[in-house]
Amino acid sequence: MLKLSCNVTNHLHTFSFFSDSSFFIPVNRRTIAVSSSQLRKPALDPLRAVISADQGSISPVNSCTPADRFRPGRLMEDGYSYKEKFIVRSYEVGINKTATVETIANLLQEVACNHVQKCGFSTDGFATTLTMRKLHLIWVTARMHIEIYKYPAWSDVVEIETWCQSEGRIGTRRDWILRDSATNEVIGRATSKWVMMNQDTRRLQRVTDEVRDEYLVFCPREPRLAFPEENNSSLKKIPKLEDPAQYSMLELKPRRADLDMNQHVNNVTYIGWVLESIPQEIIDTHELQVITLDYRRECQQDDIVDSLTTSEIPDDPISKFTGTNGSAMSSIQGHNESQFLHMLRLSENGQEINRGRTQWRKKSSR
């Protein structure tokens, strides 16, 4: 049985429920018991109810919005995970006619936003609770880990499943599984960690019990991980890259289009900046398999950024040479895998913005 606390005045209030348990809702200092089975709507649609403080009555309402009619996504039977299909469009592919890693990251962000919208949990698309909005609190990315086993090609349809859950006392996490819609083959997985920040002071804040209680109702009761394997690569720490770096791309400037609704550089932009300092020979002969990014500082529109890269494999042939601005000085023909450490820093004072690790595999002949 789940206890849900809320403040009800003499108005209509909308709540979302995703459980077969009963809910105790105080109305004008009285408590009424509500069984979600009494409010069940057609399968896979978020359950919403209107509570009248005057009569203490509850009735289901239609939560469909104009945008919902065009979203092909749906909540799964458990009410916690969400699936949506996407077609890979021509402007989302690179020179290989396959989706870029930035496209993949943008789709992960899109399906996450659609998930919380579908739940009726957050109207701003960033999964902020009522308490968070009152206190001007937002979620910001602390870590992103993406593994891509097979890149979808132009016109392929990708199905992405996502869910969120608590991550200790400091934040929350969100996981994804990507499948080829035609074959149901898992073509990628991803996980992320998020922390809470005050939108006015730009300082991190601890997740309070009040906020935690508001979003836990939308999270699986038991831990569910996209990477359940012990000692998987998503758990590995990333060491700080020290100067001098082998490869660099200096003085990168955020575009206006790089800013998101939280007024800072979108986390997907960092991926593009990291890849700017990858040696060109790696880009020509390899494809990105794994990327892990730790976000350590905000980046604003006026900041100027340096992208630094160094090979992490000691006997990597490319590590014996030094290049700048993304140009390699050695041949790596026949080398199947490469791994790099990355750092993004402010050009002005060297403060670290982001550190990362990438793993690359030899491109397959098509």
Q: How many CA atoms lie within 13 A of 268 on its CB side?
A: 16
Half-sphere exposure at residue 68, Cβ-oriented, CA atoms within 13 angstroms: 16
Please name the fold of domain 70-237: Thiol Ester Dehydrase; Chain A (3.10.129)
Residue 306 confidence (pLDDT): 97
pLDDT of residue 313: 79
Architecture, CATH, for domain 244-314+336-365:
Roll (3.10)
- pLDDT in the model for residue 125: 58
Q: What residue ranges of the chain are covered by domains with CATH 3.10.129.10?
A: 70-237, 244-314+336-365
pLDDT at site 69: 72
- Residues in CB range of 201: below 8 A, 6 or more apart: none
Task: Please enumerate in sequence order all residues whose Cβ is within 8 A of that of 190, keeping only pairs 6 or more positions apart, or say none.
Answer: 108, 144, 145, 146, 147, 175, 176, 178, 226
Q: What is the pTM of this model?
A: 0.77
- Residue 342: predicted pLDDT: 98
CA distance linking residue 133 with residue 303, whole number of Å: 27
60: number of Cβ within 10 Å = 15
DSSP character string of 10-61: SSEEEEEE-SSSEEEEEETTEEEEEEGGGG--STTS-EEEEEETTT--EEE-
pLDDT tens for the chain, residues 1 to 366 = 444 444 333 333 333 333 333 333 333 333 334 444 433 333 333 333 333 333 333 333 345 667 667 777 888 888 889 999 999 999 999 988 999 999 999 999 999 988 988 887 666 657 788 888 888 888 889 999 999 999 999 999 999 999 999 887 778 999 999 999 999 999 999 999 999 889 889 888 888 888 888 888 888 988 899 999 988 999 999 999 988 999 999 999 999 999 988 778 998 999 999 999 999 999 999 999 999 999 999 898 999 999 999 999 765 554 444 443 433 333 344 458 899 999 999 999 999 999 999 999 999 865
Residue 124: its pLDDT value, please? 64
Residues marked active site are found at 262, 264, 299
